[in-house]
Amino acid sequence: MIKQLSIVWLFFFSATADASLTSYFPGPAQSQAPLADSVKFKCGSKTSIASSCVVAQSESMVEHLEQEKVFLGFGQYDKKYNAKCGDGGVDGTNTVPCERSDLIRATYVGLEPLEVNKGTHPLVNEEKQFSSYQSKNFTLTPSEPRYKVVRVLQNVNLHFKPGIYYFGDLIISDSVNISVEGEVEIHVNSLKVGSSSTINYFKDTSFSTYGEPSNLILWVHNNSSANASVSGIFDAQFGEFSKTHAYVYADGVVKIAGSQPKQNFGTIIYGAVTARYLELGGYSKLKYAAPRQSYKLNISPETATASGCNRIPLTFSILDSNDVLQDDVNGLLDVSVTSPNQHACWATDGMPNSNCTNKWMNNVPVVNGVAHLWLGGSGGDVSVKGTFKNSEQVEGTLEDTAGPFHFEKIGLRLNAGSPLKLVAGKEENVLIEVVKSAGNGQSCSVKHINGTFDLEASTKYDSPSTGTKLAYVNGISANGSNPNAITFTEGKADLDVRYNDAGEIAIPINIPIFANIKENNKGGLATEASDEPEGKDYVSELTGDIIVHSRPYTFAFCGMPGNPDNAFKMAGESFGLALTPVIWSGGNDLNGTDLTNGTEAPLASSFCQREATPNFWKMGAPEAFVTLDETAIIKKPTGGKGAQIHGIAPKAHTQVNASNRYRFNGLSVSDVGSFGIRSKLTNPYLGMIVNPGELEVGRFYPAYFSLSGNITPAISDNQDSGGEGFTYMNQPFEGQYTVLAMNAKHQAVKNYHLFDDADKAQFVDWAMIPSSGVTGYESLTSRWQHPSSRLTGRWIGDGETGSRFSFSGNMMVDKGSSPDGPYPELKFVAGVDPSQPDRDGTDFRFCNDSTTSQCVEKLPNPDVDGEFGAEFAQGEFMFGRMRMEGFTETQDLSREQTMPVVVEVFNGQRFVTNTRDNASEISTDIGEKEVLFSSTSEEANRAQIFLRDSANRTITKKTVENGRSEFVVKAPAQNGNLNREQFRYWQRLDTAIGSAAPQTWLQHNWQGAQFDDDPSAIGTFGFYRGSDRVIYKGEKNITLTGE
């Protein structure tokens, strides 16, 4: 077979990658595709955060050859003064716009840190040092140990032979030259390149030929992106004046050092960089080198045998140099027969009697890198040629040849000419027919073959080309020598076929028989060669290949807990699992349409012990990508919601670990409960849907509780001259708190409220003030009137905010037996009820117990030793009262008077005016006047009490200003007579003013022990001389009450 290659600007790739490396370096600079749980960080001088960032310092340059714009594929772009992009013009003078793009993203690989004695590529706990004191020149081969640290000291030349290398930290000092031979990939946790060093800048130590960027790929596994904006933090750093020809893929931070040359650029990378965070220093340059890749046309299978009545299915694929299907390539295909066979033909399906075009067929569409045709013949050998053309992705044409394909004039038609679709481990029946070719792929049945004949069957591996398992025919292994038999009735027979592996195989069968095509006197059978009459059409044997396409039954989970009711992981906490492809085993396994239409296969943890299909993960096997469904299906609690699985990175079918399993690390489930997690392939396998495997995994439980709440001060901030808001003791106010069950990523879960009551936490609450006691606090819980959280609080959920415990109600802080306070920081605290925690002991995340974010201060309950909680609100509470001031007028009994009203608070020693109060009200509607003495019995002629507003209008109620107000008293009418009067005026605070609540919190113990007396004052117009209640000049301020 001869293959013609087309060189285009693409990439080779290693087992690290699961697709052509063009997907990892689509441009000069980009980040990976963002994940749902990607870490976010500050981008340079930007104030907002992002999951990816490029910072271009002043005078830095990014070049992309012959582009009108240079696109940088990052979430944010911090461009400093005079940072440029170029089109690769002479001396970099041709600048073009730089533009951030969300459309350019590299495929996410999910590089795992390299660890000592762990993982697929374990490191050895050794340090390797290359020093010029030992030698100037050193050479490394891929067989070199995987050192934990490699140091290349100053002035050393280090040469890498072709292959893949794994190290922990690679530290390259100043003035070092690194060269590579052929294609080299270096995997490291971190990389540091010193100043003036060269990495693949020169091809060898002759320093005469530049290195090709596509010959070196640097994979950097560490991820420090969470601290990307911190000075000195990097996963890969290229020192000033260093020059690198390579492609750099980092899961974290790449920093290219700046320099200040007077001419040209200092630090240069010629290749491409993919990173979460990229910083280009001043006068640094990143120049895109589109890497090279070979395309080829491949015809599969290369050879095959069939009867002249069968058509052989051929697949024409566009592959890269690593035999990876290029599914982004489209074009046209011409096919022809190159051997002298007059009856060879081409068809677009495998139906035995459909149209078959003689010799050649042109302009067959190639879609997503693939075209399918069927080759027919009537006898003899046929060789073919394919030519791929007219592609926008591939320059020129690609050619491949295949054959010979052998056709027997009389032979077998197997499974009606179509591949036999199998589920690994499950036996299927295949129809075998003896047919005679009528030319051009047409056939007629040969019905006179009857009886039982010996059968030889063997196993031929096609994709992959090797294997360890044999197919079974009629329950007997097809090794080419085991005795077997087949029984024909009128030229038809059937066989039971089973294959316990995956991929494409052929089962060549051979039936030693002397069969006369035409009926004859011997009944159509000749038992010896000598019995063959001349002039008749005879064959000595019937042969053919049963083409088998076999898929795994499902993918089993390995290393998962057996009982989903037991606690497994916190919601949002990282965990790992492994998948392995397994065979169908009967019993309760799916059957019928459930098996063929992709129904989920219910799994148990024991499935991991099933027989696997090792040919699935081999190189050269049909391309497939193993992954997990992003949605976890809720199993418990009943009525719950499904959750998202984060951190899924699909694995190419070759990406197995040392245990031949597909390891998925860094997974997390966002909610609580137990869930059905589904394994699956991203696409059909050989045209068949592999049944997703579903395993109930759990139980996932909350990481912690979050607490939020507030109280609404009765005196709001806009009524408070201090702008804070406060509440008087005995004054009602509203309060509430909400507890959310959270996952480890600080997101509210949505299923917690559906757990049984015994499995959910309940809460208690208390009030306290700072003190000098043992706990640092004094309890005021006994004075805090509020609904019981045990009776009114409950877990609810609405699907938006998540599961929450909600508590709210009207509250009050009672006055004590004597004036006290003020309490500027009265704390309201909630904690998990020690008598009813949840089954996992979930609590708040206390800062003094944890250094993680989202923590709260741990506060004690002064009344209960060992009980702790978190503050949900605090407020300022004061002991208040309303006081009224009277008057005595003895000179001008017709002059208008005022009765001042003052709202006071206790300051810890005495009562003072509450100058912050602009909310309390006085009103004539709740005023009560008691006449103590009057010269007239006519009420209209007595003193009148009223209120005025700022416009001097009479009103019925008034709000205090800075704690003060006043009533206006119109003097008694004199009418030519001396009309004297004394009265007491009350504010009935137990009576509502309009719709407002009665202001009982401003009552005081003016006359008794209880704080329930209304304020009052006495007004006097006239004289009072003594005990006979006669107004007498000189006895000022004497009242009937003794005040």
Domain count, the chain: 6
pLDDT of 421 above 90: yes
- Say if residue 149 is in the same domain as residue 48: yes
The three-state secondary structure class of 1002 is: helix
The three-state secondary structure class of 543 is: strand
**Gyration radius from the chain CA atoms:** 45
State the CB neighbour count (10 A cutoff) for residue 355.
Answer: 12
* Cβ-Cβ contacts under 8 Å for 624 (sequence gap 6 or more): 616, 652, 653, 681, 682, 683, 685
Please answer whether residues 182 and 162 qualify as being in contact, where contact means their C-beta atoms are separated by less than 8 angstroms: yes
- Say if residue 848 is in the same domain as residue 871: yes
- pLDDT bracket for residue 158 (50, 70, 90): very high
Could you report the per-residue pLDDT of 425-434, keeping only the tens digit for each? Answer: 999 999 998 8
- Say if residue 340 is in the same domain as residue 205: no
Domain that holds residue 357: 294-408
Task: Kindly provide the b/e burial profile for residues 285-311, where b requires at least 16 CB atoms within 10 angstroms of the residue's own CB.
Answer: bbbbbbbbbbbbbbbbbbbbbbbbbbb
Instruction: Report yes or no on 2 lying in a domain.
Output: no
Instruction: Report yes or no on 121 lying in a domain.
Output: yes
* Cβ-Cβ contacts under 8 Å for 716 (sequence gap 6 or more): 725, 919
The token pair that represents 454 in the structure block = 């010996």
Instruction: Report yes or no on 240 lying in a domain.
Output: yes
- Domain boundary pick from 830, 860, 877: 877
Distance in angstroms (rounded) separating the CA atoms of residues 582 and 763: 48
Instruction: Report yes or no on 577 lying in a domain.
Output: yes
- Say if residue 50 is in the same domain as residue 190: yes
The token pair that represents 708 in the structure block = 């939020």
- pLDDT bracket for residue 858 (50, 70, 90): very high
Beta bridge partners of 812: 785
Beta bridge partners of 719: none
Long-range contacts of 172-176 (CB under 8 A, 24+ apart): 172/197, 172/199, 173/197, 174/239, 176/152
- Say if residue 592 is in the same domain as residue 515: no
DSSP letter, residue 834: T
- Say if residue 298 is in the same domain as residue 248: no
Q: What percent of the chain has pLDDT over 90?
A: 58
- Say if residue 924 is in the same domain as residue 891: yes
Range of weakest confidence among 18-22, 129-133, 302-306, 367-371: 18-22
Instruction: Report yes or no on 329 lying in a domain.
Output: yes
- Domain boundary pick from 241, 263, 292: 292
Distance in angstroms (rounded) separating the CA atoms of residues 100 and 98: 7
The secondary structure of 664-702 as a DSSP string is EEEEEESSSEEEEEEEEESS-BTTBPPPPEEEEEEEEE-
pLDDT of 92 above 80: no
Task: Kindly provide the b/e burial profile for residues 942-959, where b requires at least 16 CB atoms within 10 angstroms of the residue's own CB.
Answer: bbbbebeeeeeeeeeebe
The token pair that represents 963 in the structure block = 């704690």
Distance in angstroms (rounded) separating the CA atoms of residues 183 and 321: 12
Distance in angstroms (rounded) separating the CA atoms of residues 220 and 238: 13
The three-state secondary structure class of 882 is: strand
Taking 3-state DSSP, the helix, strand and coil percentages for the chain, each rounded to the nearest 5, stand at: 5, 45, 50
* Closest residue by Cα to residue 688 from 554, 515, 508, 505: 554
For residues 241-270, average pLDDT: 84
E strand intervals along 131-211: 137-140, 147-152, 157-160, 163-166, 169-172, 177-180, 184-188, 190-193, 198-199
Beta bridge partners of 770: 777
Could you report the per-residue pLDDT of 875-934, keeping only the tens digit for each? Answer: 999 999 999 999 999 989 999 999 999 999 999 999 999 999 999 999 999 999 999 999
- Say if residue 917 is in the same domain as residue 1016: yes
pLDDT of 522 above 50: no
- Say if residue 904 is in the same domain as residue 863: no
Which helix H or strand E contains 792, and what residues bound it? helix 789-792
pLDDT of 8 above 50: no
Distance in angstroms (rounded) separating the CA atoms of residues 943 and 939: 8
- Say if residue 544 is in the same domain as residue 590: no
Distance in angstroms (rounded) separating the CA atoms of residues 538 and 354: 27
Q: Amino acid letter at 700?
A: F
- Say if residue 424 is in the same domain as residue 477: yes
Please answer whether residues 456 and 509 qualify as being in contact, where contact means their C-beta atoms are separated by less than 8 angstroms: yes
Distance in angstroms (rounded) separating the CA atoms of residues 284 and 280: 6
Could you report the per-residue pLDDT of 295-349, keeping only the tens digit for each? Answer: 889 999 988 887 666 788 999 999 876 677 888 889 999 999 998 877 788 998 8
For residues 959-980, average pLDDT: 92
Distance in angstroms (rounded) separating the CA atoms of residues 444 and 430: 19
DSSP letter, residue 132: T
The token pair that represents 216 in the structure block = 């070196």
pLDDT of 847 above 90: no
- Say if residue 711 is in the same domain as residue 824: yes
- Domain boundary pick from 682, 701, 720: 701
Beta bridge partners of 423: 551
Which helix H or strand E contains 789, and what residues bound it? helix 789-792
Tell me, yes or no, if the pTM score tops 0.85: no
* Closest residue by Cα to residue 506 from 415, 438, 426: 415
* Cβ-Cβ contacts under 8 Å for 503 (sequence gap 6 or more): 461, 462, 463, 464, 467, 550, 615, 616, 618, 621, 622
Residue 589: its pLDDT value, please? Answer: 93
For residues 783-797, average pLDDT: 86
Q: What is the CATH number of the domain that holds 884?
A: 2.60.40
Instruction: Report yes or no on 966 lying in a domain.
Output: yes
Instruction: Report yes or no on 756 lying in a domain.
Output: yes
Instruction: Report yes or no on 688 lying in a domain.
Output: yes
Residue 93: its pLDDT value, please? Answer: 61
The secondary structure of 718-773 as a DSSP string is GGBTTSS-BEETT--EEEEEEEEEE-TTS-B-SSGGGS-GGGS--EEEEEEEE-SS
The three-state secondary structure class of 333 is: strand
